[in-house]
Amino acid sequence: MKRKQGYKRGYPVALLVGFEDDRAVLWQVFSHVVKLQFTVKLVGSRTDERALHVFYESVVDALRPALREGVRSVVVTAPLKTTHAADFLGYVRKHHAYLSQSKGPNRAVFAELAGSADQPHKVAELVKTPEFRKIVADTTSAEADHIVDTLERQLYSIGSGSVVLYSLKEIEEAVYDRDWHDDSGTAYLMLTDRYLGDSRDKNRIHRLLQISKNKKLKTRIVNAETPAGRRVSQFGGIVFFTTPAK
């Protein structure tokens, strides 16, 4: 009997939020598939400022788990002739400026695209469009550049509580043998898609990624052909670093 092939979703790339008149549908975009994450319903009317505030806060809360794991690219969509996406982004800039303006570790990269993303077949069509692919490429590249900028700063501040490792064995020891808390600073694990694809022991790499995720470390897989990917490739394709607790 032929063995059934395992489900292949790939690695996290971005978050997609599809706004409609009465709800927002959140999807996680992986390198091979898109998965439904959550649906947030608007209780009340869009003309009710209090109801809209609660709605937007619920959307931000629904984004937090993936953002904490290190997925920092967010594509926001809404049907043509509506301002739902722009209204939400305006709310984020006003009430959650740390997500859209800060240069700190919690920064996310937002982009807006016209179109509906409330049903699987609509999302399947949307993610195949050149516009969506370009937006994701641009936002993930900007996000990766920001993380690499943080890495560069740590390279010049070793001895002040920062750690930079690029040996797989040392990275495994650092991740597996330590409990990471908020007072430990922010820890990042960054590797290229080429490093992952060419690895002779993918199970070892996937285990490292899963345990890093379980320990709330920020993990990112970047395109090796981007500027950020080329910089990580100079470390052998993988790098782990920390920033001191503030």
Q: Which residue's entry shows tokens 């709310």? A: 91
Give residue-wise pLDDT tens across range 126-185.
988 998 888 888 888 887 888 888 888 888 775 666 788 999 999 999 998 777 655 567
If asked whether residues 173 and 110 sit together in one domain, one would say no
Taking the C-alpha atoms of residue 107 and residue 138, their distance in angstroms, rounded to an integer, is 15
pLDDT score recorded for residue 150: 85
pLDDT score recorded for residue 143: 79
If asked whether residues 19 and 124 sit together in one domain, one would say yes
One-letter amino acid at 135 equals: I
pLDDT score recorded for residue 6: 40
* Total of domains in the chain: 2
pLDDT score recorded for residue 41: 97
Residue 54 lies in a domain: yes
pLDDT score recorded for residue 194: 92
Contact of 175 with 215, CB cutoff 8 Å? yes
46-64: b (≥16 Cβ within 10 Å) or e: eeeeeebeebbebbbebbe
If asked whether residues 85 and 188 sit together in one domain, one would say no
Residue 139 lies in a domain: no
Residue 80 lies in a domain: yes
The range of the structural domain enclosing residue 226 comes to 144-243
If asked whether residues 95 and 186 sit together in one domain, one would say no
If asked whether residues 186 and 86 sit together in one domain, one would say no
pLDDT score recorded for residue 98: 86
If asked whether residues 120 and 23 sit together in one domain, one would say yes
What mean pLDDT is reported for the chain?
86
Query: Residue 234 maps to which CATH number?
Result: 3.30.1330.30
Q: Which residues of the chain have pLDDT under 70?
A: 1-8, 102-105, 158-161, 180-184, 245-246
Query: Residue 99 maps to which CATH number?
Result: 3.30.420.60
Residue 4 lies in a domain: no
